[in-house]
Amino acid sequence: MFVPVRASVGSTVDLYLFDFDKTLYAFNFRKRLPALSRMSGVSQYHLAKTWWAAGYEERAELGEWKTADAYLDKFAEVTGARLTLDQWCEARHEASTPNEGVIAALRLAATLGTVSLFSNNPAPFEATLSRMAPDVTAILGGNILISCELGLRKPDPASYIAAINYYDARATNTYFIDDSASNIAGAIEAGLTTFHYTDEADVPALDAGIRAFAAR
C-alpha cells in the first residue's frame, strides 16, 4: 500500500479535493470503448467483457499494476489488445471534455488554499494526465492523488483519511467535490465538507460553496 509522505501544507490550511472524471472533465465511456476497439482491432464487446466486467480496471485502480507499462501488458494479456501509452491516452482524450466552470472553480480554490486532484484511476491516467488535461495540471502543480498509488479507492472512508494525511490537513479543513453520490457519502463519513456536482448548472453553487467554506 502507498505510504503518504506529508507535504509541507500544515493542518490549518484549507484543502480542496477535486474529482476528475465527470467533475473537472466530462467523461463518456461510450466514446472511449469504440476508440479502444478501433485502435486495437478487438471488439468493444470483448474489451468490455474481459477487462471491465471482469473487474480488472478496478483492480488496476487499486494499484495491482503500479506502472503504465505493467497495466498495458496486463491489458494485452487479458483482452488480446496491445495498446501503446499514446493510444491509451488518445482514447481517453476522445472520451473526455473539460467542464470549464469546474476548472474555474478549481482555479478559485487555488487562491484560497491547497488544491489537489483525488481520483479513482489506474497508472496510465497519471502518466498521461499532463497531456490530456494540461489546463488542470497547470493549476494543480504536483498535487495529484490517484487511487492506484494510494492503494485505496473512493468511497472507502480510509481513502479520504489517506488524502488528508498526505497534506497534513484536517477533515474539518477539507472540502471535497465529486459527481458520485457514493463518493460523497464516503467523504461525509470521513468528516469532510462536500459538494455533490452533477452538471455545469451547479457551478454558481459550487463557487458559492467554496467561498463560504473559505470564509467560515
CA 158/CA 148 separation, integer angstroms: 14
For residue 31, pLDDT over 60 is answered with yes
Answer yes or no: is pLDDT of 6 > 90. no
pLDDT of residue 9: 53
Averaged over 192-205, what is the pLDDT?
A: 98
Q: Which of 2-11, 63-72, 172-181 has the lowest average pLDDT?
A: 2-11
pLDDT reported for residue 11 = 60
Long-range pairs of 209-213 with CB within 8 A, sequence gap ≥ 24:
209/175, 210/16, 210/105, 210/108, 210/109, 210/112, 210/175, 211/108, 211/112, 213/14, 213/175
Domains of the chain by start residue, with CATH: 15-26+98-215 (3.40.50.1000), 29-94 (1.10.150)
Torsion of CA 130, 133, 138, 139, to 10 degrees: -130
Give pTM, 2 decimals.
0.93
